[in-house]
Amino acid sequence: MDEQLNPVVRQLSARVVVEAVLKAGPISRAELSRATGFSKQTISDVIRELEKDGWVREQGQVQGAVGRKAVTYEICPDAAFVLGIDLGGTKVHLALANLAGTIVAEVVEPTDLRGGLHVIEQIGRLTEGVARQAGVPQRSIRGSAMGSPGVIDPRTGGITIAPNIPGLDMIDVPEMLKQRLGFDVIIENDVNLAAAGEQWKGNHHSVHTFAFIAVGTGIGMGLVADGRLIRGARGGAGEIAYLPVGGDPFDSRNHLAGTLEMATGSAAIVQRYIGLGGSPGATVRDIFDALERDEAARITIDEVARIIATAIIAIHSIIDPALIILGGSIGVRPELRVSLERHLSRCMTDPVPLDVSSLGSRATLVGAIGTALTHLHRSLFGIHSSGEPASSSFLRSVSDKDVAA
């Protein structure tokens, strides 16, 4: 690359070219020059360096001006890989993806109930397994992101509250994972990553302020405002489980899981149903399946929807989202959405629109892959000493390319 370019400009040039190749590739140098505004000489220098380092490759030729053929370039998708991890209280889901965001291997198994270091070892074993499955040397995995339930300290990446997985809040999870895997793992709240997944691969790319509410074993929220994920001063933004809705926030029994979660989580739904005379031993799925014939089931879901609607009104009054996206095993049920819309229409003159996640149970995993790719891109081509770091720009570059289902 032209030695007259200072390191920051050189790195910025590489970043812009990589983004252009990701978005429009295969692409010729002349097209890159027009797309980026860089001179043809700068483009040639950047492409030569990227090609030498193995990040781009020749793809073919296109007909150029005056009968000449121009070489086209594309990203080498297998130049590096990232790992996405969705760690839940009941299962852990891993996926290995290449630079184009395509999943090349994945695995799901029940979470080790012993928690703590046993979960760290489980993730290490599963990582080795997906690498073998894809035929990828583990040294080619350059980074990872993991969605975890609980509160994540935004300064350290540590898990400060993990009610569903014992022992994770007692160890240095980022350091333990790095020692076991050999690369950095970014840890983020699982619902935050689900929101990031929706922002990247969901059906609402143009919506810049929205809330992703996951309802399942518990309840949580990921909040995107003006295109940016909101984490809060201590990582607790979006922890709507602790909203004083649906019960008494001064009741010490609600302190660990949260007042709203104790009223709307799966265990609370079953307890409410049994209290109304429903069949003991019923699951949440059974309750939804019985809605048309079982009055106790109908009342149960209606009451839960009313409580969640109250929480949505509180959220709306604070952040004014353009959209609420519902996720989680319970949140994606269309019957819940219908009931929520009915309650919201009774107490809002202009109810906030609701939609069900298009990514379903894969939202956190997709968000983890996108986040890992973003941080890999920043580490390779971002501006660290000065200037603006490359962050969500990488995800915008690959937003038209599908993450394999």
Which tokens is 390 given?
């490359």
d(CA 304, CA 105): 38
The pLDDT assigned to 157 comes to 81
Question: How many C-beta neighbours within 10 Å does residue 307 have?
Answer: 20
Which tokens is 143 given?
């980074």
d(CA 402, CA 405): 8
Q: How many helices (H) and strands (E) does the chain have?
A: 14, 15
pLDDT tens per residue across span 121-135: 999 999 999 999 999
d(CA 201, CA 199): 6
Return the residue matching tokens 């689900």: 194
Question: Domains in the chain, ordered, with CATH?
Answer: 7-75 (1.10.10.10), 79-189 (3.30.420.40), 203-357 (3.30.420.40)
pLDDT band at residue 393, thresholds of 50, 70 and 90?
A: very low
The mean pLDDT of 376-404, rounded to a whole number, is 51
Which tokens is 233 given?
């001063």
401 phi-psi bin (left φ>0, alpha ψ -120 to 50, beta other): beta
pLDDT tens per residue across span 208-218: 999 999 999 89
Helix (H) or strand (E) holding 331: helix 328-331
Q: Is 129 helix (H, G, I), strand (E, B) or coil?
A: helix
The mean pLDDT of 316-324, rounded to a whole number, is 95
Q: Are 275 and 266 in contact (CB under 8 A)?
A: no
Phi and psi (nearest 5°) for 235? 85, 10
Percent of the chain with pLDDT over 90: 60
d(CA 176, CA 182): 10
Long-range CB pairs of 71-76 (<8 Å, 24+ gap) are 71/28, 71/29, 72/25, 72/26, 72/27, 72/28, 73/21, 73/25, 73/26, 73/27, 73/28, 73/29, 73/32, 73/47, 74/21, 74/25, 74/26, 74/27, 75/18, 75/21, 75/22, 75/25, 75/99, 75/100
